[in-house]
Structure 1
Amino acid sequence: MSRPQLAEARRVRAVELFEEGASNAAIARAVGVCAESVRRWRRLWEQGGVSALRRRSATGRPPKLDDAQVETVRSALARGAQAHGFEADLWTLERVGAVVEQVTGVSLSRASVWRLLTGRLGWSLQRPERRAVERDDSEIARWIAHEWPRIKKGP
């Protein structure tokens, strides 16, 4: 159950207890909130009934991309960066922003691209390993086992 759903469930339980005639202190203990919250809920309930204590939809500016556009972006990003003409198969905020604009026609700021990736798409920050292509792990192990002790020992 999400946090808003849990809060609404507490308020609905409080209404049931209001209707049973329970005291504010008893209701506060029963639902796990402070007495001031119960007093506020009781005033709202007396003025507007149960609907006054129901959860309201989120306010604020609506997102620039609707759910269908987000899924279009998801499938475009799943094809990889090279499929969109980038040299390396590595995503940056600028590259993702360019793909979003290309497939949806919506221009997003870097911050909005970050929120899209981490929030709505569920991606996380990944950093590539900095490792030489020519790296030879067996030669490194040999050097650490044989050469390093000799060098450390000194002349």
Structure 2
Amino acid sequence: MTAAGRARREQIRLRAADLFARGMSPPEVVRRLWVSRTSAYAWHQRWEAGGLDALRSVGPGSRCRLDDEQRVRLAAELDRGPVAHGWTVDQRWTLGRFATLIARLFGVSYTLTGVDKLLYRMGYSA
């Protein structure tokens, strides 16, 4: 998520904290802020335990293990297709094959979920 996206989400959480401080319940926060029930209850629990600071952003989530140059190279290798990397029988990309290619090229291991998120950030989709 971008810094701007994190800031927008933080503002919603801080508005929720203000509503909690005014005595509103999580269901009321759901209706007022158009957020999920799960989020409102989780925020309320965090707010009760740690106040306003508990709802502040802690910064970006996980950082990409590949740098910009490696991501550019990965994109070029993906564009070459599976056959160029030895998958000749079934010539489709899979998350497992992406993970294998990343490990071969850069010595970095990714879970399938991690590969999916990396590819999404790079603009690829299933």
TM-score, scaled to structure 2: 0.50
TM-score, scaled to structure 1: 0.43
Determine which structure has more spread, i.e. the larger CA radius of gyration.
1
Q: Say which structure, 1 or 2, has more relative contact order (CA 8 Å, 6+ apart).
A: 2
